[in-house]
Structure 1
Amino acid sequence: MKEIRFHGRGGQGAVMASELLVHALVHKGNYGQSIPAYGFERRGAPLQAFVKLDNKPIRERVQVYQPDGIIVLDQSLMTQIPVYEGLKDNSFAVVNSSKQLDFANSPQELQLMASVNANRIALDIFNAPITNTILLGAFAAATELVELDSLKQAISDFFPEKIIDKNLKAVERGFKEVCVIRKSNVLTKAK
C-alpha cells in the first residue's frame, strides 16, 4: 500500500485533490481512500488530506502518519509546519514552488523531489491561485503512480461542466512543466 499526505490551506483544494486522485486510481481498477483532516475549519488555515492506494481492498481508515510521499500545495507551509514528518524511506515530495528545489534541508528518507510553479500556471488558467489539479499532474509525471488519462477522466467525471476544460489544461501543464530531481542529483524534466 502507498500512503500520501497532502499539505495545503483551507480553500486551496487539497481535499478535492485527494478525492480526485482516489477516483483516478479506482477508475483503473485499483483501490483507494481519501481521508480529510481539517483542524481549524477556516479559509487559509493549514490542513491535511490523506490518500491510501493499493491493488487490493483497504480496510483501515485512519490518518497517514508515515507517508510514502507528500504533496504540498502551498510552499509557505514548508517553513511553517513539519511537512516532512514521518516520511518513509525512499519517499517523494511534490511541491508548488517557483524555485528549483534541492535536498539541502530535506530528510535523508527523501529520494525524489518534484517542483512546479503551480501559482503561475493557476494565474494563467484560472486567474486565481487554485493549484490542486496542477499538483496532481506534477504528481503523475514525477511518480508514475497514476496515469494522466485517469486524472483527466476523474476531472471530467467529478467537476461541473463549466470548469472541466480549465482543469484539464491545468493537470496537463502540471504534468508537462514539473521538474524532478533525484537523490543522485540528476535533474530531469518529467515527460
Structure 2
Amino acid sequence: MIEIRWHGRGGQGAFTAAKILGAASLIDNKFSLAFPSFGPERRGAPIQAFNKIDGKAIIDRSEIKSCDYLIFLDDTLFSDDYLKDLKDDGIALINTATPDKFSDFSQIQSIDANQIALKIIRKPISNTAMLGALASISDDVSLSSLQQASDLYLSATNAAKNQLILRESFEYFKEVR
C-alpha cells in the first residue's frame, strides 16, 4: 500500500489535492482513500490530509504515521522530525522558494510550486503543482489520470490553466534529473 500524508494550511488545497489524487488512482484502476484531519477550521491553520492507494480494497482507515510520501504545500510546516515518519525509501516533497535549506537531506525533493502557480494563475495555490511533481517522482499515479481527475474537482473556468500547472511541475523533475 502507498501511503501519503499532505501538510498544508487551511485554504491551500491540501484536501482537494488528496481528493484529486484519490480519483486519479481510481482512473488508474487502483483502490484509494482520501481523507482530511484538521482541528478548528480556519484559513491558515495547519491541516493534514491523507491518501492510501493499493491494488486491493483498503480496509484500514486510520491516519498515516509511516509514509511513502510526505508532501508539504508550505515549507514553514516542515520539521526534520517528520523525516522519521518516512518509510526507508520514502520521499518528502516540499514546496519552497529556498531549496538550498533542504539540500542536506537525501530524502527531500523540492520545487517552487508557488512560482509555477503564480506564473499561470497569478495566485500562490500550489496543490496542483505538487500533484504534477508527485507524478513525476513516483510511479504510483500517472499525469494523464491526474489531469482527468483534476477536472472533477477544480473550477471549469480554470481547467486549462490547471492542466498547464500539472504539466509544468511534472516536467520540472524530468529536467532536473
Number of residue pairs aligned between Structure 1 and Structure 2? 176
Residue segments in structure 2 that go unaligned for 5+ positions in a row: none
CA apart distance, 1:178: 3.3
Instruction: Give the structure 2 partner of residue 35 of structure 1.
Output: 35
1:159 aligns with 2:154: yes
- How far apart are the structure 2 equivalents of 1:86 and 1:95? 15
| Per-residue CA distance 1:9-64 (angstroms, 9 max, x = gap) | 00000000000001000011100000100123110011100100000000111110
8 Å CA contact 1:114, 1:178 repeated in 2: no
SS of 1:178 mapped into structure 2: helix
Instruction: Give the structure 2 partner of residue 48 of structure 1.
Output: 48
8 Å CA contact 1:138, 1:174 repeated in 2: yes
1:89 aligns with 2:88: yes
Structure with a larger share of its residues in helix: 2
- How far apart are the structure 2 equivalents of 1:156 and 1:62? 28
8 Å CA contact 1:119, 1:129 repeated in 2: yes
Cα distance change, pair 103–160 in 1 and its aligned pair in 2 (3 A): closer
Instruction: Give the structure 2 partner of residue 124 of structure 1.
Output: 119
- How far apart are the structure 1 equivalents of 2:52 and 2:63? 9
Residue segments in structure 1 that go unaligned for 5+ positions in a row: 180-187
8 Å CA contact 1:7, 1:83 repeated in 2: no
Instruction: Give the structure 2 partner of residue 175 of structure 1.
Output: 170
8 Å CA contact 1:97, 1:115 repeated in 2: yes
Question: How is 1:95-134 mapped onto 2 (pairs within 5 angstroms)?
Answer: 95-101=94-100, 102=102, 104=104, 106=105, 112-134=107-129
- Structure-2-length-normalised TM-score: 0.91
RMSD value over aligned CA atoms?
1.8
SS of 1:89 mapped into structure 2: strand
Instruction: Give the structure 2 partner of residue 149 of structure 1.
Output: 144
Residue identity matched to 2:6: F
SS of 1:15 mapped into structure 2: helix
Instruction: Give the structure 2 partner of residue 189 of structure 1.
Output: 176
- How far apart are the structure 1 equivalents of 2:123 and 2:81? 26
- How far apart are the structure 2 equivalents of 1:120 and 1:163? 17
- How far apart are the structure 1 equivalents of 2:91 and 2:176? 16
- Structure-1-length-normalised TM-score: 0.85
Cα distance change, pair 178–40 in 1 and its aligned pair in 2 (3 A): farther
